[in-house]
Structure 1
Amino acid sequence: MIHPAIAWVIRRFVLAPLLILLTVTLWTSLPLWLLATGIASAFVPGWLRPVRLLWVGLLHLTLETLALVALFALWIGSGFGWRLRRPWFERMHYAIMRTYLVVFFREARRVLRLKIETVGTAPDAFPGHPLLVFCRHAGVGDSFSIMYALMHWYHREPRIVLKEMLAWDPALGVMLARVPSRFVSHRPGRDLEAEVGDLARHLDANDAFVIFPEGGNFTKGRRTRSIARLRKLGREDMAVRAEAMSHVLAPRPGGALAALEASPEADVLLVAHTGLDHIDSLGDIWRELPMDKRLQMGWWRVPRDEIPTGREEQITWLFDWWQRIDDWVDEHKPEELPR
């Protein structure tokens, strides 16, 4: 495991310059890449699959490069980092993040023929009320889809708990290091519940604290290990409930309960989605292009006075909601997805 200080140096002074260099190289040699991918398109199934993938990849690299330049300018403008934590600079970082997500999702939906839609009654933005957002975790890019919806549809400033591996994304790692967020890992000595609680504390009127209680994307292997873990902990009752859920992992309640305790004034927004569940790797993305898929999202707001206060009661409440989300996914899952 790389020491955090060394990892920071690699991300900032190696990966970021390499990403910018790669972007410039691709743009300057774009005619050659278009010719190559155009020829390759004749030999692979799917309409212009290599060209579509090239354009989405180039768009991502371009937005990352522009974001890095803007972030560097903000760093200079803040007095070389001195005032980066001030409210105005925080808002500017969220604006960069929102712009990236809006531009990328609009173009990706067009090129990949991907639709994102809400099933049932969409919640309003709940202005003036902080929110704790508990999300299902499955498929490629679900955390980015949730961020896009919260920032673009509902004008929220998210505080998000993410896996540490996402800090290696050059622009994302810089942006989220400068706004309230946590990259979590299971290093010895880390009190993850305490870190989550600190992040969820003192939410203001347009904040949304975002966490994925399952702790990882749904796979059959993770589902099996999750059930075995519950039995090892002596929670046979919860293991039995987890076995009854086919599309979600048993939630790990520690982080969610820490957020509930740290932000007693916040309501809870639960988010489920389905449509890209079976896409877990770059290979899956390649095989599915053009996707021509619908990412369906379900939203439920739970007022705080409807949430129990005792720890065991809250665990039961969370499992009850995950069972409801599992039923929702089963009801809305596209027929072509494997069961």
Structure 2
Amino acid sequence: RSGDGVPIPRGGSDVVWCSLPRGRERERQCRTQSQPSPARARRSFSPSPTRTTTQARALSSKGLKLEGGDAGAHLKHFKIYRWDPEEKQEPYMMTYTVDLNDCGPMVLDALLKIKNEQDPSLTFRRSCREGICGSCAMNIDGGNTLACLSYIDRSSKPSKVYPLPHMYVIKDLVPDLTNFYDQYRSIEPWLHEPEGAESLKANEGSGEYLQTREDRKKLDGMYECILCACCSTSCPSYWWNADSYLGPAVLMQAFRWIEDSRDSITKKRLEQLDDAFKLYRCHTIMNCSKTCPKHLNPGKAIAHIKKRMASLH
């Protein structure tokens, strides 16, 4: 409208407010916001072509972000949880900048690039890089998942990476899974041979036990669990009672052995779970099923255990 301030874009991000009085369209009294123009910004913040990796690491150690770069660069900021028990410093978030045009598509690719090129002290677990081992489980942008299966959010919003929540931290993104594996060991996750088991073997001495296709199919959706602990660490009941509640991952593994037709201690397994905390702390919040990177349903397995438990009473 004539006589009003009209925003006119100049050079991309700058906004110029121009007043256009009636009858004096050629006379413009303009003022620009204090933000520098893109040209000035590039001159001020572009790294020198000869900047070395050592210099970049020095900036990162001071909590500075390395910005700028080639005109075609797609820069992405990652805010990563840092804590070293050997340093007398509270946990903090450090920001790293990665060019997505020179990086793989997964969050794990970005973490490896940061560790290899910017900060070798960054610590995290990883192994298979294809969603099989469960080593790289962490909290990415608010959800528990595997870094090797999580695509990088290519928007301008910084991505935040934390260790699995409500777990003791060994260093940076490495959680202490001692209690988790102790709970897993407590359910005796192996096959107990029944008396006269030799009659179940396909061939004497072969070590294989016969099972119908129908019985084998009952194990689908449970044996695929990779024990990454994403589900257990997303469960509020596990946060509150990690010392007594077994959690979704371990309970689903327990049901995997309860449901196995080749196992001989089904009743004993159920009796071991007949506890106010081990099993019944599950309140069907269902965070476990929503966050599982393998798309399994621990909540359903827990419900089946509760149904089977009714046979004991």
Which TM-score applies when normalising by structure 1? 0.23
Which TM-score applies when normalising by structure 2? 0.25
Report 1 or 2 for greater relative contact order, CA contacts < 8 Å, sequence distance ≥ 6: 1
Q: 1 or 2, which has the higher helix percentage?
A: 1
Structure 1 or 2, whichever has the larger Rg, is 2
